[in-house]
């Protein structure tokens, strides 16, 4: 958080986080941050986080875009209302990595019963366990790293890029915090590194974002579960800019 706060201190605003989660973007020392989050229980934590699907963005004027705001966390097909949001000049976000956090496992029956009785969470960490249910349809958190993960994020980033205000004279800025991880695909095999950062660099470049640098950020990481001794040494913040138009 400290690295991101320092990075974006003088970036042009407004700043948008299309994967807002519980709203940490609003803790980066700026008062012009906006968030979009598909899970209502997380979106409701901050007044400038909108409960919406980031892949639906795209209708906008010179200064604002309209977000089809969701009102029901369980039904993605009901009537939606439009919310006007200032078009961002910068993006800051940390998407899911497609690792075990995206498992839809909710714990053993005993753990779920204990959670219902005492509120104690299962030992495993995941988005679904955090929510107490499987994640909402349309969320990128539903998918492990693979074709569906890549396709979902490509759809979201294409929509988000389309609403960013950018020109050669006033480029838009981006900070994307992602990480590789280790995964064992089959029992008995050695764990292999999953190159999530490379995917994001290629995706952003395909949408016209010019990669400026990578900033490694060392974190403590979770130390439970398989491959706990093989955690990647650092997360990466991909810093990029966009001058408008499509590549």
3-class secondary structure, 102:
helix
**In this structure, is residue 247 part of a structural domain?**
no
* Domains held by the chain: number: 1
**In this structure, is residue 9 part of a structural domain?**
yes
The whole-number pLDDT of residue 78 equals 46
CA distances (Å), 154 to each of 3, 18, 140, 240, in order? 26, 13, 10, 16
**In this structure, is residue 94 part of a structural domain?**
yes
**In this structure, is residue 227 part of a structural domain?**
yes
Q: Are strands 172-178 and 235-242 parallel, antiparallel or unpaired?
A: antiparallel
Tell me which residue has tokens 């020392």: 29
The whole-number pLDDT of residue 226 equals 53
Q: Are strands 15-17 and 235-242 parallel, antiparallel or unpaired?
A: unpaired
Would you say 38 and 23 are in contact if contact means Cβ atoms under 8 Å apart?
Answer: no
Q: What is the pTM of this model?
A: 0.88
Domain around 12: 2-242
Instruction: Please give the Cα distance from 74 to 92 (Å, whole number).
Output: 27
**In this structure, is residue 55 part of a structural domain?**
yes
Which pair of tokens denotes residue 196?
Answer: 């999530």
The whole-number pLDDT of residue 227 equals 47
The whole-number pLDDT of residue 1 equals 82
Query: pLDDT tens string for the chain (247 positions)?
Result: 889 999 999 999 999 999 999 999 999 999 999 999 999 899 999 999 999 999 998 867 889 888 888 765 555 544 567 788 899 999 999 999 999 899 888 888 888 888 888 888 887 888 888 888 989 888 999 999 999 999 999 999 999 999 999 999 999 999 999 999 998 877 777 889 999 999 999 999 999 999 999 999 987 644 455 545 556 788 999 999 999 976 6
CATH number at residue 74: 3.40.50.150
The whole-number pLDDT of residue 58 equals 81
Q: Where are the alpha helices (DSSP H) in the chain?
A: 2-8, 40-43, 109-118, 127-131, 147-163, 196-206
3-class secondary structure, 75:
coil
């Amino acid at each position: 958080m400290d690295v991101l706060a320092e990075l974006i201190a003088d970036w042009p605003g407004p700043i948008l986080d299309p994967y807002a989660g519980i709203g940490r973007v609003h803790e980066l020392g700026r008062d012009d941050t906006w968030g979009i989050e598909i899970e209502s229980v997380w979106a409701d934590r901050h007044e400038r986080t909108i409960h919406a699907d980031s892949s639906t963005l795209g209708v906008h004027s010179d200064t604002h875009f309209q977000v089809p705001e969701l009102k029901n966390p369980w039904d993605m097909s009901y009537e939606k209302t439009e919310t006007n949001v200032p078009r961002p000049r910068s993006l800051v976000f940390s998407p899911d990595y497609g690792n075990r956090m995206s498992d839809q496992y909710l714990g053993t029956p005993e753990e779920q019963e204990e959670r219902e009785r005492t509120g104690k969470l299962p030992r495993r960490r995941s988005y679904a366990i955090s929510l107490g249910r499987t994640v909402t349809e349309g969320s990128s958190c539903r998918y492990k790293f693979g074709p569906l993960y890549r396709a979902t994020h490509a759809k979201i980033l294409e929509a988000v890029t389309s609403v960013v205000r950018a020109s050669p004279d006033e480029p838009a800025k981006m900070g994307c915090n992602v990480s590789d991880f280790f995964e064992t695909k089959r029992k008995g095999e050695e764990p292999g590194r999953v190159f999530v950062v490379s995917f994001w660099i290629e995706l952003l470049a395909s949408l016209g974002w010019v990669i400026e640098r990578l900033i490694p950020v060392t974190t403590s990481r979770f130390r439970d579960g398989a491959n706990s001794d093989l955690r990647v040494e650092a997360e990466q913040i991909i810093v990029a800019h966009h001058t408008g138009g499509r590549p």
